[in-house]
Structure 1
């Protein structure tokens, strides 16, 4: 339901969408393409699971990645900006975080950042999700779609 609402909101504004995913591994795009007519809005997605891919494909500053690690709010924003630019979309959405079972880059399991960048706004949200890998990943997908819906519905 959330994916359909997002696609409707973006389509109503004439906006296209691109997605950069790390811990969700393509699950955000999977939710979106399950909606009939998604191709009218969704340009595509990049699964940047490896930290090096965040830099080489999405253009995330390597010094930022070295200094803070991949699980960081500024990295999430840079991923969203990068996929937006790369796929020539109006809106970029990104996910990065730790699904477990071990901490990463000093971030505890369940630490997730989702980001959305539109033509007029950029926003990132930090989450602390509980559960196993599947539950954390599912929560990240839901949160990414929710944040994008909020910004798509914002008239500014």
Structure 2
């Protein structure tokens, strides 16, 4: 019984979502909330992946098109997109994704290193890959995505 309890404590809960056709996931503890796309205000001279800003219960949230940020196509607003709101240092960021999927219980011991280029996605945004019986889930490095976002606003060169 001790092993079962120990295993359960080590399980990583991944909130999974689609960016284009790629299935991605992130630690569910990094997710503040998930909501439907709301009316956004465009931001002049913002990087191309910044879709806009929105007012979420009095908080200004910058919305990043995760597809564009990862080097894929722009997220189609004709599908059923969602904003995954995450807490960034000093602000809230919304990651615009094509579709939300399931919460997956992942054993951290079975997470493999991310290949340098995952299906056309820039691999530096991922900490690893988790294999389920029938899917591969790219585990998003939220800090890396947000770090690049902060660098672009402070004028540092972003590759």
State whether TM-score is above 0.5: no
Determine which structure has the larger strand proportion and give its number: 2
Normalised by the size of structure 1, how large is the TM-score?
0.28
Task: Name which one, 1 or 2, has greater alpha-carbon Rg.
Answer: 2
Determine which structure has the larger helix proportion and give its number: 1
